[in-house]
Chain A
Amino acid sequence: MFRKIIIFMIFLMFGLCSNYLFAQQKYEKESRIKPKDVPSKAMNFIDSINLKNRVKWYLEEGLETKSIEAKFKYNSKKYSVEFDTLGNIEDAEIEIKWDEMQTPFKDSISSQLKKDCLKQKIVKVQIQYSGTSSEILSKLRENKTSGNLTIKYEVVVRCKSKDTVVLFEYLFNKKAQVLSRSEIIFKNSSHLEY
């Protein structure tokens, strides 16, 4: 009797996972790397900023892409600088406070968010600079903004809809127009909850 119940329960559990084989997975991996494994071009770029704080290096792997990322604090702000695997700079991001942004720009973003969400809360704002290595370096080191530098804003928003609450990452251009919006998927946590 008990053996039959156990067998039935196990079949029930596996029956519930019949669509498992067809589930798609998104592969993204971030792992810490040692400074000796960083391409010299990337290391030279970071060295030329003359940082006093420690730099943490990461390797980010997607399904088809790989990049190297340097994270550090500079002038009390959080920076992250992304390079390709050869050490060529891709962009630099600086975390800022929502209040540091100019009012008309904030208003434009807010009105966009009100269209998309019933309730919203700004979680994180980053300014993203892309351009040539020397343009980005002079922005980071001397805060000089060259006219050729491309500026975008990455805004992470907690967005409440009718049925659920999700986290979105928006990318805005200088005119506060939406360039992209993607949902941030949290890592599974059932092993922490059950």
Chain B
Amino acid sequence: MVFLVFLELLFVNVAQAQSTYQFGALPSLNINNKFQNGWSLNSKVESRQLMKSGNFNGNSNTEYKYVLTDFSFITAKKIGLNSRIAGGYLFRLRETEIFHRFIQQYTIVQKMNGFRLAHRFSSDQTFSNGEKPEFRLRYRITSEIPLNGESVDPKEFYIKLNNEYINSWQGTDYDFEIRLVPLLGYDITDNNKIEVGLDYRVNSFLNNNTRHSFWLSLNWFIEI
């Protein structure tokens, strides 16, 4: 229902206002270290590269541009059978600017009949010299659907679907972003997974200036 309302808003917005888009790649490497007593450390590096941008009226720019790189380190503690609280720090390099982001999150993973479902509630605060601090509240639901059997095993493919809703406040501005990420994953071993798919993001549609982002998402997850 929420998604239908969102599509309607989006359609009206594309038809009536200046909508822009960007297309590029978003490769990431994610390493998760497990320690004793339910502690773990997640390290991630993600880079963003722009290949095309423009607006839906026809103007576009196809020049390749490296945009940014993120490094994040998040420490997590298992607090229930399937739940974890986590906190960490993200370091963003964007042209000559450096951004510092502090992250807090709670995740719960449910084993359903034939698939897994993960809920992530998180907040973050971003600081930099050039911009006002940004505060965000996020909710993400992720499903993992095995393409063979009742769970994903080594040498098997799976579908992963992410849907995230992000509220952000920066100075007096408020924005709402929606992300939809369908991915095809392959479980190389129990500790190695690769995923490829589309990371679609839409924001600024509340102020009639919709921005669509289409990123080719390439993820590699290593578990230690």
Q: Which residues of A contact B (CB under 8 A)?
A: 2, 5-6, 9-10, 12-14, 16-17, 19-20, 23, 25-32, 58, 158, 163-167, 186-194
What 15 new A-B contacts, CB under 8 Å, besides A19-B224, A27-B154? A2-B96, A6-B69, A6-B93, A17-B31, A20-B224, A25-B190, A163-B37, A190-B32, A190-B223, A191-B30, A192-B142, A193-B42, A193-B84, A194-B30, A194-B42
Task: Please report B residues at the A interface, Cβ cutoff 8 Å.
Answer: 29-33, 37-38, 40-45, 69, 71, 74, 76, 78, 80-82, 84, 86, 91, 93, 96, 107, 109, 116, 118, 120, 142, 144, 148-156, 160, 185, 189-191, 193, 195, 219, 221-224
A153 to B114, CA, bound (A): 25
Instruction: Check if A25 sits within 8 Å of B37, measured CB to CB.
Output: no
Q: Which secondary structure characterizes the binding site on chain A? A: mixed
Interface residue from A5, A167, A188, A191 paired with B93 (Cβ < 8 Å): A5
The complex places the Cα of A164 from the Cα of B80 at a distance, in Å, of 7
From A25, A30, A190, B149 is in contact (CB under 8 Å) with A30
Select B222's contact among A17, A19, A30, A187, beta carbons within 8 Å. A17
Q: How far is the CA of A190 from the CA of B29 in the complex (A)?
A: 12
The CA of A5 and the CA of B92, in the complex, are separated in Å by: 11
Contact A31/B153 with A164-B37, A191-B221 known, Cβ cut-off 8 Å: yes
